[in-house]
Chain A
C-alpha cells in the first residue's frame, strides 16, 4: 500500500468531514431558514467530497474496508484535519469566519490539485472545486455583510477573526508529506496556495473593515493527529452509532 498517498487522501478527506459535521450542527438552528439551508447544503457538499476521498483511500489501503470504516472507526489521533475546522460554531460570525478562511484555502488547494498527475485525485478536485467556489462565494459575501454591517455584527466578526486567526497558518504548513507529494506530481504546492490565500484574505478583510490581530502565536498539530480538546467531542457525536451498533445500516 502507498502509505503516503493514503495519508494525503485522509488529510484532505478529514478536513471536509470534520467541517461538514460542524456545519451540520446548525441544522434547524440557523439565523434564518434560508441560511440554515445554505449551511446544511455546504455541509452535505463537504460530506460528499470526503466520501469520494475516503473511497479512494480505502481502495489504496487494500484491506477491503469502506469509506465508513475510515470515517467512523478511527480515533482522534488518526485524524489529520487542520485545527481550524474542529473549532466550535460559536455565533454565526464565528462560523462565517471559520468557513471563509477554510473555503479560501480549499478553493486554492483544489485549483492546484486539479492539475495533479494522479487522475483520480484530479477528478475529485475538479468536481469539488465547483462546490467550493460556491461555498467561498457564500462565506465571502457574509464576511463583507457582517464586517461592514452594523456595529454589533462588526464587533462579533472581529472577535471571531481574532479568535480563529491562530489556526490559519496550519492550513498551508508545508510538511515532509507535502514535499513528497509534490515531488511525485500528485500533491499541491502549499506555498502557491498560501500566496493566493493571502491575496483573497487581504482583499476581503479590507472590504469588510476587519483587522488582523497584532500578536498571534500560531497553533499547529492537526496534520500530526494532535488536536484541540473539541475533536474528541465531535467524534463522540459522529461515531456514536457505528461504535455502539457496529455495522449498522440505514
Chain B
C-alpha cells in the first residue's frame, strides 16, 4: 500500500449554506469514499466546512496556459461588457 498507487483528487469545500464550493487543495485516496474521508480529516479540521465535493484530478480538463493570449487577452479592452454604465436608483442599496 504505497501512497503513489493512489490517484490524486481535488477537494472542494462549502463553508456555509448558500455559498458555493471552493477549491481548497488536493489529496491522495484509493477511491471516492476514502477521498471524502481524507478530505474531512485534512481540510475541515478547523471548522471550515459543511459540505465536501471530491473529483478525481484526471477528470478535470484545464485550459492550456500557452493559449492564454488568445483566450483571455481579447476581453481586456472590452470595458463595455462591464455593467458599470448604468445609473442605479438610490432605493437599490446593494447590487
Contacts and interface: CB of A to CB of B under 8 A. Distances in A.
B3 interface: yes
Nearest to A134: B40
A145 B34 CA distance: 10
Interface in A132-162: 134, 137-138, 141, 145, 149-150, 153
Interface in A30-49: 31-35, 37-38, 41
Nearest to A149: B1
B1 A41 contact: no
Nearest to B29: A34
B17 interface: no
Given A34-B27, A41-B45, A137 B37 contact: yes
Nearest to A39: B41
Nearest to A44: B45
Nearest to A38: B41
B28 A31 contact: no
B63 interface: no
A42 B34 CA distance: 16
Nearest to B30: A145
Contact of B3 (A32, A141, A145, A150): A32
Contact of B37 (A32, A138, A149): A138
Given A32-B28, A145-B30, A38 B3 contact: no
A150 to B, nearest CB: 8
Contacts of B34: 141, 145
Interface in B1-48: 1, 3, 6, 27-30, 33-34, 37-38, 40-42, 45
Nearest to A35: B38
Given A37-B41, A38-B38, A32 B33 contact: no
Contacts of A37: 38, 41-42, 45
B30 A38 contact: no
Contact of A41 (B29, B30, B41): B41
Contact of A141 (B28, B33, B40, B41): B33
Given A32-B6, A92-B1, A153-B1, 6 more contacts: A34-B29, A34-B41, A34-B42, A37-B41, A138-B37, A150-B1
Interface of B: 1, 3, 6, 27-30, 33-34, 37-38, 40-42, 45
Interface of A: 31-35, 37-38, 41, 92, 134, 137-138, 141, 145, 149-150, 153
In the A-B complex, the 6 residue pairs with the closest CB atoms? A34-B38, A32-B3, A38-B41, A37-B41, A37-B42, A41-B41
